[in-house]
Amino acid sequence: MKAIRFTFPVILLLLTLLWLLADSLLPDPFTYFSFRHVFVQYSGVIAMGAMSIAMLIALRPRWPELRLNGLDKMYRLHKWLGITALVVSILHWWFAKGTKWMVGWGWLEKPARGPRGEETLGLIEGLFRDQRGLAETIGEWTFYAAAILMIVALIKAVPYRLFAKTHKLMAVAYLLLAYHSLILVEFSYWTQPVGWVMAILLAGGSAAAVLILLGRSGHNRTVSGHIEQLHWYPELKVMETRIQLQPGWPGHKAGQFAFVTSDKREGAHPYTIASAWQAEDGHITFVTKALGDHTSRLPEYLQQGMEVSVEGPYGCFTFDDDCRQQIWVGAGIGITPFIARMKQLAAEPDGRTIHLFHPTGQYEQAAIDKLTADADAAGITLHVLASKDGRRLDGDLIRATVPGWQQASLWFCGPSAFGHALHKDFSAHGLASGRFHQELFEMR
């Protein structure tokens, strides 16, 4: 989270500084209407800058993933930028549209315009000036649609399938808003740094929007495969799916995840990989819990031999550090990346001392037996805490169980609130923040 907590304000600060080189939020003379003019320009730059970067992130590019510590963190930045664009756009809309209403209601008096001198406009500026009315209309109605789409994306109760389909429409909204911005931005900005940066962002965001509409996100990281084996654990409501991949998969590290498409109408869903990679074998395994409408249908829908596509790998939850002791916490279905790592360590031991804690609300002996066998093969100490036994995991229990925990790193995958609580607890007891690693497995 440290990387995106730094990146997010830096993006907004850089856009603000670039804009301030071209304009000012304190116009002279300072009146409501003079402030309105510059604020509409400033808010437009911030909103479209944030939307452009969010659109580029939606393409799932490779180059920023390592710098932002994984696609899960990139998507969190995508979400923050989207919320920023929504809030700033509301202010932008109110100053642009609300001012006209307030004049009509008699709350504001529009200043009288002085006589206009003759203007000599260049060809491009004149063309832009002629389209201002159309651009304003398109921007207003697109704003209404985009605001609804953004709000839908933030409501977790909306099924993922509906979210994915409606959120793709944001690419259309972006293209219309890019046209709105191109025409209505202060023409003098285009000869200054803020204009150069906005031109790059609008061009990049527009290209990304077109690729998203064509279904090309992650296309160069996608391979085909077929389901070779399925195993359903009814007590856990978990499906284990083994897939035989076609040539082209670049390999993955334990702890990474991929997007899997089994139904093109449903689209791609992200799942953590539960197997170590062996190129000569070509198999990949996913362990999926029935948590929503799509995953609940998988036991009835998936069949052996079914064709699927797998896109990835993504993520930086890869157990890479210099600590000779690690503490793993896999809560519920969050055990998945640790299964993959145990299988890798069984084949390639690294000499670390590792304690794996697995708190679970559902208990199935067959699954625990497989987990125990994986832990034994990897030389890992396993601690299973089942709710049915009244055993609950917290920081005190971990510290009492693991000698020398102060020199260890802690890797957590599970419910985000539980992870945040553990992070806060261990930080309060002196564990360096950089030694706590958490997978933010939330794609919306």
pLDDT value of residue 115: 61
| pLDDT at 84 (0 to 100) | 97
CB burial of 417-431 (b: ≥16 within 10 Å; e: otherwise) equals ebbeebbeebeeeeb
Q: Is residue 335 part of a domain?
A: yes
HSE-up of residue 384 (Cα within 13 Å, Cβ side): 16
Residues 231 and 203 in one domain: no
Confidence at residue 121, expressed as pLDDT on a 0 to 100 scale: 73
Q: Are 276 and 381 members of one domain?
A: no
Residue 224, beta-bridge partner list: 309
Output the pLDDT for position 96: 92
| Pair 262, 357 in one domain | no
The answer to whether residue 443 is domain-embedded is: no
Do 193 and 302 share a structural domain? no
| Same-domain status, 172 and 232 | no
- Does residue 320 sit within a domain? no
Same domain flag for 153 and 281:
no
Residue with tokens 């002791």: 325
Query: Which one-letter amino acid corresponds to residue 395?
Result: G
CA distances from residue 344 to 159, 221, 374, 414 in whole angstroms, order as listed:
35, 23, 10, 21
Q: Are residues 266 and 379 in the same domain?
A: no
Do 193 and 49 share a structural domain?
yes
**Inter-axis angle of helices 193-213 and 32-58, nearest 10:** 40
Domain boundary among 267, 284, 314: 314
Which pLDDT value is given to residue 13? 97
Give the HSE-up count for residue 278: Cα atoms under 13 Å, Cβ half-sphere. Answer: 15
Tell me if 184 is assigned to some domain: yes
- By DSSP bridging, strand 307-314 and strand 222-233 are antiparallel
Question: Domain for residue 119, yes or no?
Answer: no
Which of 136-140's residues contact partners 24+ apart within 8 Å by CB, and which partners?
Answer: 136/96, 136/180, 136/184, 138/176, 138/179, 138/180, 139/176, 139/177, 139/180, 139/181, 139/184, 140/93, 140/97
Q: What is the structure's pLDDT at 179?
A: 97
The candidate with the shortest Cα–Cα distance to 49, out of 93, 90, 11, 8, is: 11
Pairing between β-strand 269-272 and β-strand 257-261 as defined by DSSP bridges = antiparallel
Can you tell me the distance from the alpha carbon of 305 to that of 334, in angstroms, rounded to the nearest whole number? Answer: 27
| End position of a domain, from candidates 213, 241, 258 | 213
Per residue, the 3-state secondary structure of 215-244, as one string, reads: CCCCHHHEEEEEEEEEEEECCCCEEEEEEE
Residues 239 and 362 in one domain: no
Q: Tell me, yes or no, whether 181 and 65 share the same domain.
A: yes
What integer pLDDT is reported at residue 443 of this predicted model?
Answer: 60
Domain of 274, in residue numbers: 219-314
Same domain flag for 144 and 279: no
Burial 39-53 (b: 16+ CB within 10 A, else e): bbbbbbbbbbbbbbb
**Do residues 175 and 208 lie in contact, with contact meaning Cβ atoms separated by under 8 Å?**
no
Answer whether 201's CB lies under 8 Å from 160's CB: no
DSSP 269: E
Collapsed DSSP state (helix, strand, coil) of residue 386: strand
Q: What residues contact residue 329 under an 8 Å CB cut-off, 6+ apart? A: 356, 357, 359, 393, 398, 410, 411, 412, 413, 414, 419, 422
Q: Which tens digits make up the pLDDT trace of 302-312? A: 899 999 999 99
The neighbour count for residue 70, using CB atoms within 10 Å, is 24
CATH number at residue 6: 1.20.120
- Would you call 347 helix, strand, or coil by DSSP? helix
Q: Same domain, yes or no, for 149 and 205?
A: yes
Domain count, the chain: 3
Task: Report the distance separating Cα 50 and Cα 266, nearest Å.
Answer: 28
Residue 332 has what pLDDT? 86
Residues of the chain with pLDDT under 70: 1, 114-120, 291-294, 441-444
